[in-house]
Structure 1
Amino acid sequence: MTSSLVLRSSLSLPTLVAQAGPRAEMRFLEFFAATIRNPNTRRAYAKAAGDCLAWCLDHGVSDLAEIAPIHIAAWIETLGQSLSPPSVKQRLAAVRHLFDWLVTGQVIATNPAASVRGPAHSARQGKTPVLDAQEARALLDAIDATTPVGLRDRALIGLMIYSFARVGAALAMKREDVFVQGRRLWLRLHEKGGKRHEMPCHHQLDDYLTAYIEGCALSEGRGPLFRTVARGTGRLSDTPLSQSEAHAMVRRRARAAGIETRIGNHSFRATGITTYLKNGGTLENAAAMANHSSTRTTQLYDRRRDEISLAEVERVRI
């Protein structure tokens, strides 16, 4: 009940759900409270559900039980005009799971999204922009490490490159998640699905993290590892850095280093994996280091083919 009340205050209840009565409202809120633990997934699913139900209301559906497969199919067709196939498939999955939950809770009789097919999509390589080793080195070297902000930014970017960490896992780290084991600095990352992943630090990352922790006097404990800067002081606060703030920092640092590639938080994971594989690393070990359950996922981050394609294009000599 507490989780539902918290969600009620943070979620905008769709009109069709509110009109369906208290039972539908509670079942709708329980879907997000009981079945989704990841806050990013919860936010994405809530947006998809809200958009879908608002679209149905705008197109003549006056009751939750009136939503039919044709409405969901038309909504998906509309989304396909502005979103990529993976984004459309994610939104379809969100509403399909929501309607399943409403069916099992006897709020509606059938799932209108169950028979709707999403757009075809097959990816052998990811689209995340990556840096080559020289660009990544230039980016790290361009950061002024004489300030707390510079020490933090260099440590965060270095962590994502050298440990293949997702930005969400990096920003969720506590100070205690950097620890010494066997005379070496280790990381403890909390990945998707509650998975805990521990790995030793690359020697360069060891230097970055040690300089950051000692330079900013981060004491042992459960405080966030990567923090915002207190306004007007230039010093770190006790507030954890958010993903949007990290993205803004990355873009700012890239511009300062003269890097024109439109990189984001996720670029460093792909950069680290690609560089590792270029230097003789195996796909299996890369998957283990990235905490991927399948090497097929790791292959999406392998961008070595980009260089092969460029070399072949240059063979067209006219």
Structure 2
Amino acid sequence: MSEPSTTMSEPVEVWGPLARVAPAWLDHLGVERGLSANTLAAYRRDLVRYAKYLQVRGIDRFADIATTDITEFQRWLATGDDQRPVQAPASVARTIVAVRNLHRFALSDGLSGQDVAADVAVPRLGKRLPKALPVDQVQALLEVPDVETPEGLRDRALLELLYGTGARISEVCDLDVDDLTRTLTDPEAGLRLVGKGNKERVVPLGSFARDAVEAWLVRGRPVWQQKAANPGPALLLNSLGRRLSRQSAYGILRKAAERAGIDAEVSPHSLRHSFATHLLDGGADVRVVQELLGHSSVTTTQIYTMVTVEHLREVYLQAHPRARLS
């Protein structure tokens, strides 16, 4: 077996007892599983934290790691001390999942003779219901951009695409002009989105999103495209003619929410949640919403049905004369 690649941002010594296993697993995730750079970076941070913890405990070899070391690592993450903050439950769970998968990979790839993490339980998280915006707040948000300016045209296209397709912020920022060409010329053609794990799906593009994108392409994008030395294919640009970043898109959304007078915290996922919830409120089948969101399992989508049921309950309690029994 060839030695795994260690060409990573951290020097080999940082990995300690994970020096042979961690780079091999990350290479496997990136090359064979096709995980995104952001996901790989998150796993890398988790494993570097794990490696440092093991070294503090005096463990120098991967074969010397015991199950109790991993359970203590989990407790260590969740408690914190004067030098380090307590990790959020979701962060602890993600880190332990990474550690379990690392040890499972080491066994299957012949890098270890046993999986000492197999019996380590991942902490269970309480279900957090996604926060969807009411329809009137979404409407107010979408009307904030000044469509008489290139910036406003870009912002309107961004917001309409997010809410009109339920796409993730990265999926919208990754769109190229060619991705919209067929959809704009043929109203019945769908928009191709590339999601997690390079999974593709096609979603309808409604008239409001289509009009906003067309206005941006005709009256806004050419103005900013001229500012770039080497104009690229990106659909959404910044004022320098370069592809709009996810961070900038997030900032646009937050500013629009403030100007719309929305007090609740609004993120790109807020519009994705709103897209799904409003579809279900309107009678859409959960399987259809699953396909539109690009969820691998309908179980992930069913959390939105919980939101809808809760909304119906609130309306019932407020409107029915005999809803309150006490």
TM-score by length of 1: 0.82
**Conserved? CA contact 2:29–2:35, under 8 Å:** no
| Structure 1 Cα separation of the partners of residues 204 and 289 of structure 2 | 14
Amino acid of the residue matched to residue 249 of structure 2? A
Q: Tell me, which stretches of 5 or more residues in structure 1 are unaligned?
A: 231-236
| SS of equivalent residue, structure 2 residue 238 | strand
**Cα deviation, residue 66, structure 1:** 2.1
Q: Secondary structure at the match of 2:181?
A: strand
Q: 1:143 aligns with which of 132, 142, 145?
A: 145
Structure 2 equivalent of residue 234 of structure 1:
none
How far apart in 2 are the matches of 1:24 and 1:201? 45
Name the Cα RMSD after superposition.
3.0
Post-superposition shift, 1:105?
4.3
Name which of structure 1's ranges 262-271 and 107-116 shifts more when overlaid on structure 2. Answer: 107-116
Aligned match of 1:174? 176
Cα displacement (A) at 1:207: 1.0
Answering whether residue 35 of structure 2 is matched by residue 38 of structure 1, we say yes
- Deviation string 1:211-235 (CA, Å, 9 cap, x unpaired) is 111122459x9711122222xxxxx
C-alpha distance in structure 1 between counterparts of 2:284 and 2:175, whole Å: 26
Is 2:261 the partner of 1:264?
no
Q: Which amino acid in structure 2 is aligned with residue 8 of structure 1? A: T
Deviation, 1:243, is 2.2
Letter paired with 2:92: V
Identity of aligned residues (%): 24
Which residue pairs with 1:290 in the alignment? 293
Q: Would you say 1:90 and 2:94 are equivalent positions?
A: yes
Asked whether the 8 Å contact 1:45–1:95 carries over to 2, the reply is no
List alignment gaps of at least 5 residues for structure 2. Answer: 80-85, 226-230
Report what 2:83 is aligned to: none
Which residue of the partner structure matches residue 228 of structure 2? none
| TM superposition shift of 1:13 | 4.1
Partner of 2:48: 50
1:134 deviation in Å? Answer: 0.2
- The residue type paired with residue 287 of structure 1 is Q
Task: Give the partner amino acid of 2:10.
Answer: S
Conserved 8 A contact 2:107-2:113:
yes
Contact 1:31–1:98 under 8 Å retained in 2:
no
**Is the 2:150–2:221 contact (alpha carbons within 8 Å) kept by the matching residues of 1?**
no
- Distance (whole Å) between structure 2 residues aligned to residue 20 and residue 161 of structure 1: 43
Check conservation: 2:193, 2:200, Cα contact below 8 A.
Answer: yes
The counterpart of 2:238, out of the listed 225, 228, 241, is 228
Q: State the distance in 2 between where 1:132 and 1:150 align.
A: 23
| Segment of structure 1 superposing worse, 155-164 or 61-70 | 61-70
Q: How does 1:1-318 map to 2 (within 5 A)?
A: 8-9=7-8, 11-13=9-11, 15=13, 17=15, 27=24, 30-39=27-36, 40-81=38-79, 82-121=86-125, 123=127, 126-180=128-182, 183-184=186-187, 186-217=190-221, 223-230=233-240, 237-238=241-242, 240-302=243-305, 303-311=307-315
Please give the secondary structure, in 1, of the residue aligned with 2:271.
helix
Cα distance 1:227–1:86, how it changes in 2: closer, same or farther (>3 A)?
Answer: same
Aligned CA distance change for structure 1 residues 69 and 18 (closer, same or farther; 3 Å)? closer
TM-score, structure 2 as length reference? 0.80
Deviates more, 1:52-61 or 1:162-171: 52-61
Q: Which amino acid aligns with 2:168?
A: R
Per the alignment, in what secondary structure is the counterpart of residue 301 of structure 2?
A: helix
Q: Which amino acid aligns with 1:198?
A: V
Q: CA 1:259/1:75 → structure 2, altered by over 3 Å: closer, same or farther? A: same
Q: Is the 8 A contact 2:21 2:102 kept in 1?
A: no
Offset at 1:262?
A: 0.4
Query: Could you tell me how far 1:135 is from its partner in structure 2?
Result: 0.1
